Amino acid sequence: MDFYIDTANLDDIREIAHWGILKGATTNPTLLSRETGDYSKILQEICSLVGGPVSAEVLSEEAAGMVSEATQLAGLHENIVIKLPMSSEGLRAAGELKKRDIKTNVTLVFSANQALLAATAGATYVSPFVGRLDDIGHDSSVVLSDIVEIFSVNRISTKVIAASIRHPLHVTQAALLGCDIATIPPAVFKKMLKHPLTDIGIESFKRDWEKAQARAQEAVQN
């Protein structure tokens, strides 16, 4: 499973990109609205930092408007992927953009049938929102596993991005279920990295090594 970062914050992207594990990024209007500066430049900078697909979302509600926004966004960088809403107009736009060889990510997917429709329309990626499903008391793991299974059984090449990830267990769940990608907020990446026993272990290795060095020094002096 590939890791994408789910943010438009350049400092956070730079920090996690240094770990050498990022394959792409996803943004949305909410994430971009938290940043200051020229959104086009921010998207281009994200592209150069992650060196892989970067989703940028359209705001139009009609297919023609989505396609025209998509054409502009796709012109910003070769790695831009157009995020389209899960709607009849979004499906139409996905089909039209496929004809133009522009990659798409159909977002706000909450059911297996929505994912199937998006894939059939020609989406390159679908983004089921696991956190928001769990928020309303649904079991996101059932939806994810249905989508992965349906795509596998039907030999559908559309990739599944587990999105709206809220905690490390969502990442483990996405990987266990065979999602192609998990798009993860910076704070969750940091939680994945840490384990109290790792910190204790590093500290005790260091302490033991320093003690041994001190003993060796003492032996030389005596």
The Cα–Cα gap between 184 and 175 comes to 12
Selected from 3, 129, 151, 189, the binder of ligand G3P by CB under 6 A is 129
Q: Which CB atom, from 11 or from 203, has the smaller least distance to ligand G3P?
A: 11
Nearer to ligand G3P, 91 or 163 (CB): 163
For the bound state, the minimum distance from the C-beta of residue 55 to ligand G3P, rounded and expressed in Å, comes to 8
User: Considering 23, 41, 83, 98, which one is annotated as catalytic?
Assistant: 83
Applying CB under 6 A, which part among 25-33, 71-79, 152-160, 206-214 lies near ligand G3P? 25-33
Helix axes 10-17, 186-193, angle to 10 degrees: 30
Under the criterion CB under 6 A, does residue 124 sit at the interface with ligand G3P? no
23 classed as catalytic: no
From 172, 176, 178, select the one nearest 151 (Cα to Cα). Answer: 178
Q: Which residue has the tokens 């996905």?
A: 94
Beta pairing partners, 83: 57, 105
By CB under 6 A, residue 26 contacts ligand G3P? yes
Task: Indicate the residue among 68 and 138 with the shorter CB distance to ligand G3P.
Answer: 138
Q: Which of 124, 141, 164, 173 binds ligand G3P (CB under 6 A)?
A: 164
The least distance separating ligand G3P from the CB of residue 162, rounded to whole angstroms, comes to 9
Which among 186, 190, 179, 184 has a CA at the least distance from the CA of 1? 179
Query: C-alpha angle 122/185/59, rounded to 5°?
Result: 45
User: Considering only 46-54, 73-81, 124-132, 201-209, which stretch makes contact with ligand G3P by CB under 6 A?
Assistant: 124-132
Distances (CA, A) of 84 to 19, 43, 48, 194: 30, 16, 22, 34
Question: For ligand G3P, which is the closer residue by CB, 96 or 118?
Answer: 118
**What CA–CA distance (Å, rounded) separates 106 from 214?**
60
Which CB atom, from 79 or from 127, has the smaller least distance to ligand G3P? Answer: 127
Dihedral through CA 64, CA 67, CA 73, CA 76, nearest 10?
Answer: -120
Q: Please report, as ranges, the residues that interact with ligand G3P according to CB under 6 A.
A: 6, 26, 28, 31, 127, 129, 131-132, 163-164, 183
List the catalytic residues. 83
